[in-house]
């Protein structure tokens, strides 16, 4: 059977400076442990404006206005540079401002937990209505605002968590249960933010794939949040909840969780479901994580930098049956970190990068580009984590030397030729390989790229259940040609045999007539 194909992708960012302050784990923890810290005093002056976020090179790369190949030509750090392209919208998605996103949070709320101030709704709804991807259905779900006094009372009573614009309270998210910690107001903010940003990415992916929404039969959510209640904390279903708001009326679906590696797991599952013929079209989607906002903020501020983790990230891809055009997900060469692989870096990278190449008889150099953990080095280097994509490429290059695919002296050139600069926000799962898929698809359709390996890596030990790492990888490559002719059904075979027997009998009859 032919491989599944990637029909399109959606990549979105949401600038959320106030969510950084009130919901990022680094900031909420600091207020508990050290409420009078210098860091907390400096947060407000360390936040970027929406204009600066929009004109940031990595962000414009993420939504598709700049390619990672072009970004590689711009020497970093990029935070002090101004990108000549600073559009809100790009080929893959958009960079949404915080005020409009608050309305989207209410639009995805099914249980009337989100309340927004009357004047804020009146001012902002017109702005959101100008967004070309926002449907009339979504706009119809935004309720009339309430008086500001009522919003204040909800927050002051502890019944709700606040939504702020420059320290002004403009909304509240209520807890969904009297005492269940899994349905607290804070958790409901996390879940609704993930659902809203996932919905936005999914809408773009469907549009960019050029398909009707009814064509999506299965949706997989691979965000880092997990909704549920005290009886089953992670048993919920973001996938169907998101598909409902995106009006994918024929879709069912489920969630796949795997920390940072989850998106690659989800794409492989989607490609398998389609290739097996179970579903024709599957959407993989993920929203952003409020907990990761400002995660390295203390290191950034200490070094005189702005807080660069000020955006939520979302992505979605559409995987469908082979159309003879779009790039394929090659399921004959999946890489995975097995239980017995171990945690040594060389073993991890071998299982994900070189083992799948051996299955196809390929050299390390036969892959045009590798996409492992596309973390933005502007964020990670000041925090002491280095340039993550470059470090991964050096390890892959070292394995290439060991295998004899390149000479040791060629290692620097290999990293430059086969690597790409990190440009994704540190939202955990979002950077893990998949940000390159949209750019890879475009390059393959233009005939400029032959193979790209997407590598998702994760840290399973974060859940305190195991010390194991995790990871899976897959190869994207240009379409190999038109769809194979469908197999002949048993009914058609019976009709062919019957027709042949009739023709044979008729031939015998005519032969007998001629003998007479």
Report if residue 498 sits inside a domain.
Answer: no
pLDDT score of 297? 98
Q: How many structural domains compose the chain?
A: 1
Report if residue 156 sits inside a domain.
Answer: yes
C-alpha to C-alpha distance for 480 and 112, rounded to whole angstroms: 49
DSSP 321-339: S--SSSPEEEEEEEEE--G
pLDDT score of 490? 56
Q: Report, as ranges of residue numbers, the positions in the chain whose pLDDT lies below 50.
A: 483-485, 508-509, 511, 513-516
Query: Six-digit token pair at 61?
Result: 């790369």
Cis bond upstream, residue 417 (ω within 30): no
Residues with Cβ < 8 Å from 75, sequence gap 6 or more? none
pLDDT score of 508? 47
Query: Six-digit token pair at 466?
Result: 């195991």
DSSP structural state of residue 473: E
Question: In which element (H, E) is residue 466 found?
Answer: none
Compute the radius of gyration of the chain from its Cα atoms. Answer: 26
**CATH number, domain with residue 322:** 3.40.47.40
Query: Six-digit token pair at 467?
Result: 């010390």
Angle, helix 238-245 to helix 185-209, in steps of 10 degrees = 60
DSSP 116-150: EBHHHHHHHHHHHHT-TT--HHHHHTPPPPB-HHH
pLDDT score of 206? 98
Report if residue 185 sits inside a domain.
Answer: yes
CA dist 271 to 102, 422, 506, Å?
34, 25, 49
Query: Six-digit token pair at 164?
Result: 């702020």
DSSP structural state of residue 184: S
C-alpha to C-alpha distance for 219 and 242, rounded to whole angstroms: 9
Report if residue 484 sits inside a domain.
Answer: no
Report if residue 219 sits inside a domain.
Answer: yes
24 lies in which domain range?
5-477
C-alpha to C-alpha distance for 392 and 433, rounded to whole angstroms: 12
Question: What residues does 15 pair with on adjacent strands?
Answer: 311
CA dist 369 to 69, 377, 476, Å?
10, 18, 10
Do 382 and 303 form a contact (C-beta atoms < 8 A)? Answer: yes
Question: What residues does 189 pair with on adjacent strands?
Answer: none
Query: Six-digit token pair at 144?
Result: 């009339």
Angle, helix 118-129 to helix 98-107, in steps of 10 degrees = 100
Query: Six-digit token pair at 38?
Result: 């210098």
Place of tokens 């940031």: 56
C-alpha to C-alpha distance for 175 and 469, rounded to whole angstroms: 35
pLDDT score of 504? 52
Report if residue 486 sits inside a domain.
Answer: no
pLDDT score of 481? 87
C-alpha to C-alpha distance for 281 and 96, rounded to whole angstroms: 28
C-alpha to C-alpha distance for 53 and 38, rounded to whole angstroms: 24
CA dist 410 to 401, 413, 427, Å?
9, 5, 33
CB atoms within 10 A of CB 301: 21
Whose CA is closest to 294, among 489, 100, 2, 23?
Answer: 23
Residue 111 three-state SS: coil
Report if residue 83 sits inside a domain.
Answer: yes
Angle, helix 411-418 to helix 388-403, in steps of 10 degrees = 130
Query: Six-digit token pair at 84?
Result: 């000549």
Q: What's the farthest any 2 CA atoms get from each other in the chain?
A: 115
Do 281 and 205 form a contact (C-beta atoms < 8 A)? Answer: no
Query: Six-digit token pair at 342?
Result: 């171990």
Do 436 and 450 form a contact (C-beta atoms < 8 A)? Answer: no
C-alpha to C-alpha distance for 4 and 216, rounded to whole angstroms: 14
Do 422 and 387 form a contact (C-beta atoms < 8 A)? Answer: yes
Q: What are phi and psi of 173, to 5 degrees?
A: -120, 115
Q: Work out the end-to-end distance of the chain between its first and last CA atoms, rounded to an integer number of angstroms.
A: 54
Report if residue 417 sits inside a domain.
Answer: yes
């Amino acid at each position: 059977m032919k491989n599944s194909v990637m029909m399109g992708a959606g990549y979105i960012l949401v600038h959320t400076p106030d969510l950084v302050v009130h919901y990022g784990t680094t900031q909420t923890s600091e207020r508990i442990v050290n409420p009078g810290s210098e860091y907390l005093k400096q947060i407000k002056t360390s936040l970027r404006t929406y204009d600066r976020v929009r004109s940031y090179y990595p962000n414009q790369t993420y939504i598709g206005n700049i390619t990672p190949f072009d970004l590689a030509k711009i020497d970093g750090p990029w935070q002090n540079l101004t990108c000549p392209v600073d559009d809100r919208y790009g080929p893959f998605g958009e960079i949404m401002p915080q005020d409009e996103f608050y309305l989207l949070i209410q639009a995805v709320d099914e249980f009337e937990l989100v309340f927004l101030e009357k004047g804020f709704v009146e001012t902002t709804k017109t702005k959101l209505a100008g967004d070309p991807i926002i449907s009339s259905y979504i706009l119809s779900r935004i309720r009339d605002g309430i008086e500001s006094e009522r919003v204040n009372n909800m927050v002051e009573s502890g019944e709700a968590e606040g939504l702020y614009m420059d320290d002004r309270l403009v909304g509240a998210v209520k807890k969904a249960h009297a005492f269940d910690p899994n349905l607290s107001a804070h958790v409901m903010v996390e879940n609704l933010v993930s659902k809203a940003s996932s919905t936005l990415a999914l809408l773009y992916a469907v549009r960019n794939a050029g398909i009707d929404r009814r064509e999506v039969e299965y949706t997989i959510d691979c965000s880092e949040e997990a909704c549920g209640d005290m009886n089953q904390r992670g048993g919920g279903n973001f996938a169907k909840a998101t598909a409902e708001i995106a009006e994918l009326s024929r879709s069912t679906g489920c969630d796949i969780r795997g920390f940072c590696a989850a998106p690659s797991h989800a794409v492989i599952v989607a490609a398998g479901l389609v290739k097996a013929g179970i579903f024709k079209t599957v959407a993989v989607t993920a929203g952003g994580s409020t907990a990761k906002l400002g995660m390295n903020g203390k290191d950034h501020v200490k070094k005189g930098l702005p807080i660069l983790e000020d955006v939520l990230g979302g992505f979605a891809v559409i995987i469908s049956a082979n159309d003879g055009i779009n790039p394929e997900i090659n399921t004959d060469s999946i890489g995975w970190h097995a239980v017995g692989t171990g945690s040594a870096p060389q073993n991890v990278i071998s299982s994900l990068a070189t083992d799948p190449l051996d299955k196809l008889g390929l050299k390390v150099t036969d892959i045009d580009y590798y996409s492992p953990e596309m973390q933005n080095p502007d964020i990670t280097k000041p925090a002491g984590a280095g340039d993550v994509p470059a470090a991964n490429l050096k390890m892959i290059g070292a394995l290439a030397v060991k295998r004899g695919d390149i000479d040791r002296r060629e290692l620097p050139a290999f990293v430059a030729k086969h690597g790409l600069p990190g440009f994704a926000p540190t939202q955990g799962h979002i950077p893990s390989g998949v940000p390159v898929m949209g750019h890879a698809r475009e390059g393959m359709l233009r005939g400029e790229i032959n193979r790209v390996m997407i590598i998702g890596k994760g840290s399973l030990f974060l859940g305190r259940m195991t010390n194991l790492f995790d990871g899976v990888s897959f190869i994207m490559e240009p379409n190999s040609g038109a769809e194979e002719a469908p197999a002949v059904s048993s009914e058609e075979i019976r009709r062919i045999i019957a027709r042949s027997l009739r023709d044979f009998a008729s031939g015998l009859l005519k032969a007998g007539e001629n003998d007479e």
